Structure 1
């Protein structure tokens, strides 16, 4: 979770203990854990959807129908190649 070390976590926990008290700190920590878990779940879902979209074979067929050349090179290289073909 980022670049937070053990010392920083200890300071955060001690501050939370002082500000919230032991009972409330446990509740807040539990809620925070649920939020982090949900955010990770949603992020993973977005990554999977994006990967499925990018790897969709029907997109390749559509591109070929429209006359696009598929080389497997990076998008910046493809854009440069297309610009060179259009220009000269």
Structure 2
């Protein structure tokens, strides 16, 4: 799943979770309130996971670039 898709899904889960939580509080339905809290928490975890994936992807890209630069310099030195 792409980062944009992850963000959209997490935003939807935040919205639905908060809505369920609010509905549960207003109606006194503790089960719905708890489900809403859980769905919002799931979205929080998804947000953090997306951040981690993005950071790791950037770092891997940096390492690949550094290796390619090093290999290019080594080839030039051998000439």
Structure in which a larger fraction of residues adopt helix: 2
1:52 deviates by 1.2
Question: Greater RCO between the two (CA within 8 Å, min separation 6)?
Answer: 2
- Please state if 1:59 is matched with 2:71: yes
1:24 and 2:35 matched = yes
RMSD: 3.4
Provide the aligned length of Structure 1 versus Structure 2: 59
| Distance of 1:63 and 1:18 partners within structure 2 | 66
- Equivalent pair of 2:23/2:32 in contact (CA under 8 Å): yes
Q: Distance in 2 between matches of 1:48 and 1:32?
A: 24
List alignment gaps of at least 5 residues for structure 1.
Answer: 3-8, 68-88
Q: Which runs of 4+ in 1 moved over 4 A?
A: none
Q: TM-score, normalised by structure 2?
A: 0.50
Larger Rg: 1
